[in-house]
Amino acid sequence: KKNLKYLNEWMKKNKLYISSINGFVYTNFHQKNIKEKIYYPDWSTKERFTYTKNIIDFIKKNETKINNISISTSPVSFKKWLKKHDQKYILFYSSISFVKLLKVMIIIKNNTRKHIHLDIEPEPACLIESIKDFIYFYFEWIKKNANYYLKNICTRINYHTRQHINLCYDICHFSVNYDKHEDVIKIIKAKKITVGKVQISSAIEIDSNKNNLINLKKELTFLTTSQFLHQNTTIDVNNNIINKNTDIEILLNSNFLNTKTRIHCHMPIYLDTYKEKLNTTHQDTKNALVHIIRYLNVKHLELESYTYDMILKKEKFQSILKEYLLLINWIKKNV
């Protein structure tokens, strides 16, 4: 809290304003071998609730001139930690935390006009990994508990829930799942889900055959030294999902001949290839952006760039500037 007070004063002095915060990360994200520790503490814990409430309180006290402020947050928990019968327990206690914070955000909006929203970010291998999982958690747990626990506190509970509990649409994550973005967006529209933030990047994509399999494995070994998880999904020639792995080593120790695999590693949107032999989901990302910008009213577009230390090294900063210019110009041209 002392650090937040100092940050608030520093921002005021330098005339800086908050529009969006990454509330997913709880600890040092760039520590060695963070892997699945990135999801800790999960949303069933007091620690995650308190951490997120501190962020909300910081925004409340901050003299930002921006009234629509996004906080992206984790996909509830990591599936590997949980037994099947534990999942409903985690979903229940997590939803209670969201409802408590919903109440806080409603009060802040009524008193200050600041519209703060928590944006849940689905991710492969997590309890919320797809749009289907998000819908289940939102409607069956958050919305129902909000209607029960807040019924004597405020009216229009469904409206407030939709305003303050949103989806964070990470294009790379949906691509790794082989979700068709146009289908996901149709579901979002049909269910009247609010997308609070879009995170923009591509995934790595490989198409293996007997001539390139050995070389592909060699090209992918750089990911084995990464501190991050690199979840991956493999489909066969008929586009059926045949494998979902939590990290790259599992893929490299398997036989993925004559398959196509997408790997969770955030790649710049302007790259269609990497290291010559690796492709990216560049075209899929462009397609997603077209549909998102045309059909969804999203105020927060962010570049997902935390992997650039690993893949771009010294070019990182220039790359981020280049990407934002490309993104702005591309949107002007294509949408």
Query: Tens of pLDDT along 164-193?
Result: 999 999 999 999 999 999 999 999 999 999
Identify the pLDDT of residue 269.
86
Q: Is 167 left (phi over 0), alpha (psi -120 to 50) or beta?
A: beta
Query: Tens of pLDDT along 257-286?
Result: 999 999 999 998 888 999 888 999 999 999
Query: Tens of pLDDT along 313-332?
Result: 766 667 778 877 877 787 77
Two tokens, residue 165: 């509990």
Confidence category of residue 108, pLDDT binned at 50, 70, 90: very high
Identify the pLDDT of residue 1.
67
Lowest mean pLDDT of 58-72, 100-114, 192-206, name the range: 58-72
CA distance 58 to 116: 11
Number of neighbours of residue 218 by Cβ within 10 angstroms: 12
Is the pLDDT higher at 335 or at 73? 73
Identify the pLDDT of residue 314.
61
Q: Is the dihedral of CA 262, 263, 266, 271 positive or negative?
A: negative
Number of neighbours of residue 98 by Cβ within 10 angstroms: 25
Identify the pLDDT of residue 119.
99
Spatial neighbors of 159 by CB under 8 A, at least 6 apart, are none
Share of the chain above pLDDT 70, in %: 97
CA distance 326 to 295: 21
Statement: residue 250 has pLDDT above 90: yes
Which amino acid does the sequence have at 164? H
Q: Which residues pair with 136 in a beta bridge?
A: none
Answer for the pair 81, 132: CB distance below 8 angstroms, yes or no.
Answer: no
Two tokens, residue 313: 């090294």
Rounded to two decimals, what is the model's pTM?
Answer: 0.95
